[in-house]
Structure 1
């Protein structure tokens, strides 16, 4: 089937749902550790509480990719039913997360939230490859990155924004502040509306050979053998990209799980107070705890706001690439390599920065983030069978979640512990990991992956 070139606004419409997905991920990435700390979690226990995120991705994305490859509805298409299901579940989970009364409830909500977001996210990646010609795919993934950047910046600033409007940052011990609750409620609404916008403004191509498609779909008990077969026969370029993804996502998981405790402690000097260190029956001690807790919550708002800058700079990065790739080819390998190295420098500089200059660290990290969200997928989509795009995009997610699982079960604590006990050492480890990821781009030699010759 001959695909026509799509206009900017058609690509924008099909990618707009990523705004909501990124609201979900940014609120999760920027504030779940804050919620865990508020509910009494120790800093060293936080990474393992985050294991829900990569584990659900490892299980959900290949399954959804496989199922969406074998789905077709004349009205709803192939990928859109999964957008919608994931959006409804994610919106419900987002709303209720900050109302968690205990640590185990918050950890459980993280499982539900991340699984639901993954149901929506994987088909969005496949949709770009489904709808766009080879020559437009870099452009398409970069437009997605532009929308993701907008979502990251706005969502990361939401608690600070609503706090500025007068919503309180103060709360009793073990209770999430209202500023966070309102932010998550707004995120839930944006998630649902943005997905609905894409569902109702985007059409999909039917399978090229409907008879063959129906025969393939009718086969029983093929899921596990097909997944294993595709894993065993993944293209060499995909394996090389997997090495890059490993170090990239180890770095970003470290940021999401430990940036708030590391930066509130090292940069703002307002670590989360430990309630057991205060005699809450003593009025003076109780007041001291409340003062320390409010200072921690306010500096957490500022950390979240600074983190939002990486969404803003990734948006600028994406906008420049949109303008460039709409007319010209781009060397994906070198763009990705230099972007990751720049991001690694941003992480390392956190050790030396001040509260006023923290945002500049995240500016550099944003270039890495913008590239991570576009270049690997553009390189991958030029290297795999289009008929298996969904399942390969799902399998590719293994290279995202495995490093996160390793980080969660002790990898971060062990490696950062080699540098010392301070939480900020985790950010240094993230920087080194991202620089290694950048250098690994030298492994990519497939000419179509590097720059599609269309």
Structure 2
């Protein structure tokens, strides 16, 4: 069947397709900027922060490939295939945001963080594929730029709201073991805004039917089934055994090297993937129908070369970002405000300034996504544009070591904001134009594994590094962040210019 082009979307159409991400990012921004603050306000120590953050990346790792696979195969009539996941995730995330500030203790806060991150991932993952579904290749860059602009704008609102409430007279002082009213009201506002923004996209867009999508990509699902079966049956069990052996080595290393016990989780995940791949291979060799597990394992092992190269850059990029999200509040409060104790009013002042800093880099990202990045991409190509963005981010992290006045950290956020815009737009624009459209959901879900795994590594391994080498100076974690972005830029040099068009 000959593929036909999708109708072009107007700017209003591009707006409606991605407006829901505005609300989703409000939720992520509130989580990223305030969860360390909530945990410390409820009594946890700096050393324990990475362990409490483990729920977030683990949830994404498990949820995104599954939701990607399911959304490729869902069709609920007028509600479509991606929008049911938008709506379900938004409802659950809004509930988590409403309940989070009322957490009576650390356990409840950690459980709600798990629910919040799971729900945000349920909504977010299909949104990546939704742009590819609704737009033809020549509009992919514009579609992801608009989506990135909404991500930046949503994060500005989510990040700055506690600071804004304080300046409107809302109390920013936490009672012993409590959460300030500024954070409480911000989470409640964020829950409502998230739901309404996602509902806007659900109500203002119409997804293409399975028949229409078949006309666009011109390939039958039966061909996919046969290809996945052949790929799995041809794989060697030795490769799966390597995953299991690696996981066992990690588990053994926890005891030998006295690492944090959360690292057991990483080893367990490696072992679990090895066992899952063995099961999928044996089923394929036995002629059994390919199920969801088989598709996920088969597509992960059969990723296109371009996707694998981009995955390396994603791995290092998101390692840097997660270091920033976990540590910026204790860094700014301790190193720039001289208040490492969460019970101190100066700590809360520093935490509110972090909200402003996070709002700044997200606002810069929103502007850069619609102005600087498209201009650079037209002149030097998408891959080189991404390299420039990553280098700007590395410079931003490094500048924390030379700035002494916290107000000047706003300048640091310029480079970080440009990097954030590029990380959110360039890899996805490159991928959406290169991947099989009929499998965009599962491939986007698998690609996001390389967003989640580095977060899991940071949440487990970085805690051990911080505890052993600089337990009272978390600012040194930003040196790792800067180095990770440099490695990401180096990895992008392997993405050829021709492959990015």
- 1:258/1:423 contact within 8 Å kept: yes
The alignment status of 1:391 with 2:391, answered yes or no, reads: no
In 2, Cα distance between the equivalents of 1:206 and 1:229?
26
Report how far residue 267 of structure 1 moved.
1.4
SS state at 2:77 partner: coil
Match of 1:134 among 129, 134, 137: 137
Match of 1:369 among 404, 417, 420: 420
Match of 1:345 among 395, 407, 414: 395
In 1, Cα distance between the equivalents of 2:366 and 2:467?
30
- Structure 2 residue aligned with 1:447: 498
- Say which structure is richer in helix: 2
Report how far residue 293 of structure 1 moved.
2.2
- Structure 2 residue aligned with 1:437: 488
Match of 2:385 among 306, 318, 335: 335
- Structure 1 residue aligned with 2:44: 41
In 2, Cα distance between the equivalents of 1:324 and 1:202?
29
In 2, Cα distance between the equivalents of 1:92 and 1:215?
41
- Structure 1 residue aligned with 2:268: none
- 1:248/1:437 contact within 8 Å kept: yes
- Structure 2 residue aligned with 1:289: none
In 2, Cα distance between the equivalents of 1:257 and 1:400?
15
In 2, Cα distance between the equivalents of 1:313 and 1:385?
32
Match of 1:264 among 333, 336, 340: 333
The alignment status of 1:121 with 2:149, answered yes or no, reads: no
Mapping for residues 46-195 of structure 1, pairs under 5 Å: 46-195=49-198
The alignment status of 1:426 with 2:477, answered yes or no, reads: yes
SS state at 1:176 partner: coil
In 2, Cα distance between the equivalents of 1:425 and 1:142?
33
- 1:348/1:432 contact within 8 Å kept: no
Q: CA offsets per residue over residues 25-44 of structure 1, 9 Å max, x none?
A: 00000000000111111111
- Structure 2 residue aligned with 1:231: 300
Report how far residue 209 of structure 1 moved.
4.1
Report how far residue 2 of structure 1 moved.
2.4
The alignment status of 1:247 with 2:250, answered yes or no, reads: no
In 2 relative to 1, CA 398–53 (structure 1 residues): closer, same or farther, beyond 3 Å?
same
- 1:416/1:425 contact within 8 Å kept: no
- 1:147/1:315 contact within 8 Å kept: yes
Q: CA offsets per residue over residues 91-112 of structure 1, 9 Å max, x none?
A: 0001111111111111111100
- Structure 1 residue aligned with 2:16: 13
Q: Which runs of 5+ in 1 are unaligned?
A: 274-291
- 2:333/2:346 contact within 8 Å kept: no
In 2 relative to 1, CA 107–171 (structure 1 residues): closer, same or farther, beyond 3 Å?
same
In 2 relative to 1, CA 15–165 (structure 1 residues): closer, same or farther, beyond 3 Å?
same
- 1:312/1:366 contact within 8 Å kept: yes
Give TM-score scaled by structure 2 length. 0.82
Alpha carbon RMSD of aligned pairs, Å? 2.2
In 2, Cα distance between the equivalents of 1:347 and 1:209?
46
- 2:376/2:385 contact within 8 Å kept: no
Q: CA offsets per residue over residues 268-326 of structure 1, 9 Å max, x none?
A: 212125xxxxxxxxxxxxxxxxxx52221122111111121000110110120586499
SS state at 1:32 partner: helix
- 2:41/2:174 contact within 8 Å kept: no
- 1:412/1:426 contact within 8 Å kept: no
- Structure 1 residue aligned with 2:245: none
- Structure 2 residue aligned with 1:284: none
In 2, Cα distance between the equivalents of 1:321 and 1:235?
29
SS state at 2:84 partner: helix
- Structure 1 residue aligned with 2:263: none
Count of aligned positions:
430
In 2, Cα distance between the equivalents of 1:325 and 1:424?
32
Report how far residue 417 of structure 1 moved.
5.3
- 2:20/2:197 contact within 8 Å kept: yes
In 1, Cα distance between the equivalents of 2:167 and 2:94?
24
Match of 1:414 among 465, 468, 487: 465
- 1:38/1:272 contact within 8 Å kept: no
Report how far residue 73 of structure 1 moved.
2.6
Identify the range of structure 1 (373-382 vs 406-415) with the bigger mean alpha-carbon deviation.
406-415
Q: Which runs of 5+ in 2 are unaligned?
A: 226-287
